[in-house]
Amino acid sequence: MSLLSKMYESWSWIRKEILSQVSGKVAFALLIALIVVSVYAAILMPPDYAKYWDVGSKWVDNPYNAPPEWASYLGYVCIPQTFYDLRAVKPGVSEVSGRVVFTYNITYNLSARDYPQGLRIRANIVVPQGVRNARIRVDVIKPDGARLPAIIDTYVDLTNTSLIDLNLDKPEGIVTAVMSAYRDLVKFLSVEEISIFPMKYIFGNLSYSETLKKVETTPLPGRYMFVIDFSFRVFNVQSQDILRAVEKSKEFSLLIKGTCYGLMGTDYKGRDLAEGLFYGFPIALAIGLLVALASTAIGVAAGLVSGYYGGFIDELIQRTVDVMGSIPLLPILILIAQSIAKTYTGEDKPIVMLTAIFAVLIVFSWGGLAIIIRSMTLSIKSELYVEAAKAVGASNLRIISKHILPQIVPYIAASLVYSTPNAILTEAGLSVLGIRHGYPTWGNILSEARQNGTISQWWWILPPGFLIAIVSLTFVLLGLALEKVVEPKLRR
Amino acid sequence: MFVWVCLVGVATVLARRAVFLALALLIAVFLTGFILGATGYIDTIINSIINEEVRAYRQALTSSPQKPPAEEIEKLVAQRKQELIAYWGMDKPWQARIIPMVINTFILNLGRSPSPEVTNVAGLQPNSLVSDVIAACLPRTIFMITLAEAITILIALAVGPFIVYRIGSFIDRFIVAYAALMNAFPIWWVALVMLLVFSYDLGVAPKQFRPVVTYINALLLGDLNALIGVLNYVWLPIVTIVIVLSGPWIYGVRAMLIRIVKEDFVTAAIARGLPEKQILRRYIIRPAASPIVTNVLLGLAGTLGGYIITESVFDWPGMGTLYYAAVTSGDAQTILALTYIFTLVYVIARFILEVLYIILDPRVRL
């Protein structure tokens, strides 16, 4: 029988033993779920994911520090993201002194008592020849009847670009617009307040507070009208042609940013945490398995050599394990990671730091297994059938692979299982501490939450830790089931 | 004669252990020094200190009322820089600076901490003695981490023997499940959740833990009234640690006891109809003593270094936070001193265990 088939036999036995226990069944189900999600995420993962996560251009549209949408059931005031595709809206067309003007009237219903986080108008229009520039002007008519004229009024040169991207989180014309809309309050309005919190003045009810001696805002739910004038200076172009170009454009939209987002909310950069957590699955599993495989391989090799050959090499390995066991791992790990974080400046710093962390983990974590394998090898080596095999002239390699290895498979499996969560937990722990490698792992998300968030942003802090715990629970349960295979005394 | 041979044997075994433990200590501290030097971390830190001082000096020169001419300033600044480089030893390779530092650490000549972050954790003036800094932080770690671990151990030692006769019962299954769950949850994450719930949501625990220093200092001076103040701060971290650690601890004690319960001599004792209490005391606890003592002693010794990550989550000004402050500010003196002490405590605990094994286990004695 070949080594492989023996290994397989041993493996099927282990699997049967594991599946005969409740914890084993749960662990198996969890493990399969983990693997499926990880493979799925790995397939969908954008190329150069680290960069995508760090500076992804799509995050600018999201509200930042936003709880998940279902947080409204927990009593959070939730304004959903509202997106208008203006290509599908029929504008009013007019022509004023050489300009073609399209007027879009968009109604927006604010139902929650809060302010949306921002506005954004974006267009990607290839205009016909002869169009010189475009002008965008936005008026807002509020539910209380006030009209904020021209919160933005801007020209875009369209000769070289087809992209218009107006970030209206802080619209330029807001101060004048508010001042002219609320003439009776002008004396009490603070220019600074308006320019720092424009959304409060667009979506709020303004009233003069006698006690505070200044204008106060409260959220003003109701029907808002956004009047968007999109006009073009044209030269020998029909307005229909431009309208057709607008309708066929890649993008022309108005976005009103909410205060809640998606399944898992967003972080301080507006990044969709659901996405980060999802792509974290394959990364976490890869990290765990990589370190576990490496340290187990070294442990098995060292244990076999130490037990089988004995003598000086045995003594050396044993004493090395001894000495390494007395050196405090975490402080050394923290020191190495921090030293590299502070001195290494290359582009690939995240990878270099992670590699260093894992190398230290591997170097320090093979000792326990080596000792177990050594004592197993010692006892198997003195069995009669090994003696017999030697007498017939079997080589060392043959004895190790045919008689010893198959018997220690359960221990190898147990060691793999026990050490897999180790690397994930350590990496996350270091990140939580503030040693940041920058690669978008679950630990990294947690570390950014600790650095840039407040602890009350539970949707940012709890899920990464929870996922880490689920992964580690999977392996702990698997280990629990394996423990009874490895140590029959623990059985009932 | 036989007794003498035995004693000599025991002495050589212990001496051998002592040599290797000392070697581990040596390697740990030298390795720390090597990491600090070889990665260039220390140089980066010292260079930035020197640059900052040179910048401040130039600033002072140019803004003084009798401003010297430009060339004069350049000359003075260059001279000052040379002085600083010589003072910090930057004109020599890192080995020449680190090795004396490591040797000084071994003879407990720990020096002073140049880092304000480190002395701030201890609540002392900048440039304080490292030994004073450590002496200030150690009691805080003992009051939190060591105390929590001790409580956990007591719980485990009380519950373990109770469930060992009820293997497979509901309570046993519950404890195994709890242990598995708590093995999976890192303490620092549970700490974050506890902070979120008790400090921020319910508001029954403090949000800042640094002020505990005042109460601990008062308590150390003998003011028993400060105990309430200390408890007010310490209960949340302790409860957190006990919740998480009691799972694996109870499971560990249970596993050690089960191994012995399955032994023939216990079965024989049960068959003889001895009372449960007597079997436990005479046939189970005694053989289980040495692995349990090992775990207890190493566990308690390990707490003196503080749980670095957990302490940082609570911002608890103990040994763990101190070490992290030393690492982030690149304070080689304190890093070396703490590594030395962490390893020393562990190594001493291991040695005490070696002696205890000989006392506890008659087979080892001969």
Give the helix/strand (H/E) hosting A215.
strand A214-219
Tens digits of residue pLDDT in B116-173: 888 888 888 888 899 999 999 999 999 999 999 999 999 999 988 888 878 778 888 8
Tens digits of residue pLDDT in B26-37: 999 999 999 988
3-state secondary structure A247-265: HCCCEEEEEEECCCCCCCC
Whether A429 and B176 lie within 8 Å, measured CB to CB = no
- What percent of chain A stands above pLDDT 90? 18
Nearest to residue A139, comparing CAs of A168, A109, A91, A177? A177
Which pLDDT does position A281 carry in this prediction?
92
Tens digits of residue pLDDT in B299-310: 998 888 778 999
Residue of higher predicted confidence among B106 and A98: B106
Strand blocks (E) in B236-364: none
Spatial separation of the C-alpha atoms in residues B229 and B216, rounded to whole Å:
8
- Using CA coordinates, name the residue in chain A closest to B18: A323
Q: Which token pair is B56? A: 């401040």
Which pLDDT does position A489 carry in this prediction?
59
Residues in chain B within 8 Å Cβ distance of A330: 308
Tens digits of residue pLDDT in B157-181: 998 888 887 877 888 888 888 988 8
- Using CA coordinates, name the residue in chain B closest to A332: B32
Those residues with Cβ within 8 angstroms of residue A153's Cβ, 6 or more apart along the chain or in another chain: A135, A136, A137, A138, A172, A173
Nearest to residue B317, comparing CAs of B105, B142, B112? B142
Residues in chain A within 8 Å Cβ distance of B28: 326-328, 332
Tens digits of residue pLDDT in A178-214: 888 888 888 888 888 888 888 888 898 888 888 878 8
Q: Please give the mean pLDDT across all residues of chain A.
A: 86
Q: Which residue among B21, B31, B193 places its CB closest to the CB of A462?
A: B193
Which of A322, A327, A430, A476 is the mutation pick for testing B, counting most B CBs within 10 A? A327
Give the helix/strand (H/E) hosting B105.
helix B94-106
Spatial separation of the C-alpha atoms in residues A305 and A290, rounded to whole Å:
23
- Using CA coordinates, name the residue in chain A closest to B327: A335
Whether B196 and A458 lie within 8 Å, measured CB to CB = yes
Helices and strands (H and E) in chain A: how many: 17, 11
Which pLDDT does position A2 carry in this prediction?
66
Which pLDDT does position A131 carry in this prediction?
78
- Would you say B163 and B254 are in contact if contact means Cβ atoms under 8 Å apart? yes
Nearest to residue A227, comparing CAs of A304, A153, A116? A153
Give the helix/strand (H/E) hosting B351.
helix B332-360
Q: Which residue among A322, A432, A455 places its CB closest to the CB of B188?
A: A432
The owner of tokens 């504008």 is A91
Residues in chain A within 8 Å Cβ distance of B167: 492
Q: Tally Cβ neighbours within 10 Å of residue A143.
A: 15
Tens digits of residue pLDDT in A403-445: 888 888 888 888 888 888 888 898 899 988 888 888 889 999 9
Helices and strands (H and E) in chain B: how many: 18, 0
Least Cα separation, residue A361 to chain B (angstroms): 15
Tens digits of residue pLDDT in A258-317: 888 888 989 888 899 999 999 999 999 999 999 999 999 999 999 999 999 888 999 999
Residues in chain B within 8 Å Cβ distance of A342: 41, 44-45, 330
- Using CA coordinates, name the residue in chain A closest to B45: A342
Confidence of residue B366 (pLDDT cuts 50, 70, 90): very low
Which pLDDT does position B364 carry in this prediction?
54
- Using CA coordinates, name the residue in chain B closest to A331: B339
In the DSSP assignment, the letter for residue B274 is -
Checking if the pLDDT of B235 tops 90, the result is: yes
Which pLDDT does position B194 carry in this prediction?
92
The reply to whether ipTM tops 0.85 is yes
- Using CA coordinates, name the residue in chain A closest to B322: A331
Residues in chain B within 8 Å Cβ distance of A455: 192, 195-196, 199-200
Q: Which residue among B180, B323, B328 places its CB closest to the CB of A476?
A: B180
Helix-helix angle B319-328:A329-343, to 10 degrees: 30
Least Cα separation, residue A301 to chain B (angstroms): 23
Least Cα separation, residue B348 to chain A (angstroms): 10
Tens digits of residue pLDDT in A143-182: 888 888 888 888 888 777 777 787 788 888 888 888 888 8
Checking if the pLDDT of A392 tops 80, the result is: yes
- How far the first Cα of chain A sits from its last, in Å, is 33
Whether A326 and B21 lie within 8 Å, measured CB to CB = yes
In total, the C-beta contacts within 8 angstroms joining chain A to chain B are 141
Whether B192 and A433 lie within 8 Å, measured CB to CB = no
Q: Specify which residues A229 forms β-bridges with.
A: A103, A137
Tens digits of residue pLDDT in A37-93: 999 999 998 888 888 888 877 888 888 888 998 888 888 888 888 898 988 888 888
